[in-house]
A and B are shown apart, each in its own frame.
Chain A
Amino acid sequence: MNTLSDRLPGFIRRFDPAVATAFACILLLLFVGSLYSSNFLSPEYLLQQLKVASFLGIIATGMMMVILLGQIDLSLPWVVTVGAMMSSAVAGFGQTGAILAIPFGILCGILIGLLNGVGVAYLRIPSMIITLATNAVAQGLMVVYTGGFSPQDSASPAMRFLATGFIIPTLPNSVICWSAIGAAAVFLMTRTTFGRSIYGIGNRERAAYLSGINTRRVVMTVFAISGGLSAFGGVLLAGYASKAAQSMGDAYLLPAIAAVVLGGTSILGGRGSYLGTVAGVLLITLLQSILSVMQMPEFGRQIIYGVVIILMLLLYGRERLVR
Chain B
Amino acid sequence: MKDWRFWFAEQRGTFMAIGIFLVMFVIYSSNHPAGFSANVVQTASNKGVLLAFVAMAQALVVITAGIDLSVGMIFTLTNCMASWLVSGTPLQVAFGVIIVLLTGAACGALNGAIIIYGRLQPIVATIATGAIYYGLALALRPFPGGTVDETLADALTGKLFHFLPASLVALAFVVLVVWIPFSRSVIGRAAYAVGSSEQAAYMSGVPINRAKFATYTLSGLLAGVGGLFLTFFTYTGEAAYASGNAYTLFSIAAVVLGGVSLFGGKGSAIGAIFGALAFRTIGDLLFVFDFDPLWQPLFQGVVLLIAVSLGAFGLLRIRNRLDWFG
Q: Give the interface of A toward B (CB within 8 A).
A: 72, 119, 123-126, 128-130, 132-141, 143-144, 147-148, 205-206, 209-210, 215, 247, 250, 253-254, 257-258, 261, 267-268, 297-307, 309-310, 313-314, 317-323
Residues of B close to A126: CB separation below 8 A: 262-263
Contact string against A for B residues 276-306, beta-carbon threshold 8 Å, 1 for contact and 0 otherwise: 0000000000000000101111111110110
Shortest distance between the CB of B70 and any CB in chain A (Å): 9
The answer for the CA separation of A49 and B130 in the assembled complex, in Å, is: 27
Q: Give the interface of B toward A (CB within 8 A).
A: 67, 114, 118-121, 123-125, 127-132, 134-139, 142, 198-199, 202, 208, 241-242, 245, 249, 252-253, 256, 262-263, 292, 294-302, 304-305, 307-309, 311-312, 315, 321-322, 324-326
Residues of A close to B121: CB separation below 8 A: 267-268, 317, 319
The answer for the CA separation of A3 and B209 in the assembled complex, in Å, is: 35
The answer for the CA separation of A119 and B305 in the assembled complex, in Å, is: 10
Q: Are B300 and A123 in contact (CB under 8 A)?
A: no
A268 to B, closest residue via Cβ: B121
Q: Are A306 and B309 in contact (CB under 8 A)?
A: no
Residues of A close to B124: CB separation below 8 A: 257, 261, 267, 309, 313, 317
Shortest distance between the CB of A311 and any CB in chain B (Å): 10
Contact of B305 among A128, A134, A144, A268 (CB under 8 A): A134
Q: Are B128 and A133 in contact (CB under 8 A)?
A: no
Shortest distance between the CB of A285 and any CB in chain B (Å): 17
Contact of B136 among A125, A209, A257, A303 (CB under 8 A): A303
Q: Are A133 and B125 in contact (CB under 8 A)?
A: no
Q: Are A123 and B297 in contact (CB under 8 A)?
A: no
The answer for the CA separation of A314 and B262 in the assembled complex, in Å, is: 25
Residues of A close to B309: CB separation below 8 A: 119, 123, 125, 130
Q: Are A140 and B298 in contact (CB under 8 A)?
A: yes
A-B contact pairs, 13 of them (CB 8 A): A133-B305, A133-B307, A135-B249, A137-B305, A144-B298, A250-B242, A250-B245, A267-B121, A304-B135, A310-B120, A310-B129, A318-B118, A321-B119
- Given contact pairs A257-B127, A313-B125, A136 touches B300 in the complex (Cβ within 8 A): yes
Shortest distance between the CB of A101 and any CB in chain B (Å): 24
Shortest distance between the CB of B164 and any CB in chain A (Å): 33
Residues of A close to B202: CB separation below 8 A: 322-323
Known: A209-B322, A209-B325. 8 other contacts (CB 8 A): A72-B123, A126-B262, A133-B307, A138-B301, A299-B137, A302-B138, A310-B125, A310-B129
- Given contact pairs A257-B124, A300-B135, A205 touches B304 in the complex (Cβ within 8 A): no
The answer for the CA separation of A314 and B117 in the assembled complex, in Å, is: 10
Residues of A close to B292: CB separation below 8 A: 147-148
Residues of A close to B311: CB separation below 8 A: 123, 125
Q: Are B297 and A139 in contact (CB under 8 A)?
A: yes
Residues of B close to A132: CB separation below 8 A: 249, 252, 304
Q: Are A313 and B305 in contact (CB under 8 A)?
A: no
Residues of B close to A206: CB separation below 8 A: 322, 325
Q: Which 9 A-B pairs have the closest CB atoms?
A: A140-B298, A302-B135, A136-B301, A306-B132, A303-B135, A299-B138, A123-B312, A137-B301, A147-B294
Contact of A318 among B119, B132, B301 (CB under 8 A): B119
Residues of B close to A321: CB separation below 8 A: 119
The answer for the CA separation of A305 and B137 in the assembled complex, in Å, is: 15
Q: Are B298 and A141 in contact (CB under 8 A)?
A: yes
Shortest distance between the CB of A12 and any CB in chain B (Å): 27
The answer for the CA separation of A322 and B326 in the assembled complex, in Å, is: 18
- Given contact pairs A128-B123, A321-B119, A254 touches B131 in the complex (Cβ within 8 A): yes
Q: Are B128 and A305 in contact (CB under 8 A)?
A: yes
B304 to A, closest residue via Cβ: A133
The answer for the CA separation of A319 and B309 in the assembled complex, in Å, is: 30
Residues of B close to A72: CB separation below 8 A: 123
Q: Are B120 and A129 in contact (CB under 8 A)?
A: no
Q: Are B308 and A129 in contact (CB under 8 A)?
A: yes
Residues of A close to B298: CB separation below 8 A: 137, 139-141, 143-144
Shortest distance between the CB of A295 and any CB in chain B (Å): 15
A304 to B, closest residue via Cβ: B135
Residues of A close to B299: CB separation below 8 A: 140
Residues of A close to B300: CB separation below 8 A: 136, 140
Contact of A317 among B120, B245, B321 (CB under 8 A): B120
The answer for the CA separation of A113 and B136 in the assembled complex, in Å, is: 34
Shortest distance between the CB of A8 and any CB in chain B (Å): 27
Max count, chain A CB within 10 A of own CB: residue among B121, B136, B208: B121
The answer for the CA separation of A64 and B203 in the assembled complex, in Å, is: 35
Q: Are A305 and B295 in contact (CB under 8 A)?
A: no
Residues of B close to A309: CB separation below 8 A: 124, 128, 131
Contact of B131 among A303, A319, A322 (CB under 8 A): A303
Q: Are B132 and A307 in contact (CB under 8 A)?
A: yes
Residues of B close to A301: CB separation below 8 A: 135
Q: Are B242 and A247 in contact (CB under 8 A)?
A: yes
A253 to B, closest residue via Cβ: B127
Max count, chain A CB within 10 A of own CB: residue among B136, B242, B309, B322: B309
Q: Are A128 and B249 in contact (CB under 8 A)?
A: no
- Given contact pairs A136-B297, A302-B138, A313 touches B120 in the complex (Cβ within 8 A): yes
Q: Are B130 and A306 in contact (CB under 8 A)?
A: yes
- Given contact pairs A309-B124, A319-B120, A322-B199, A130 touches B135 in the complex (Cβ within 8 A): no
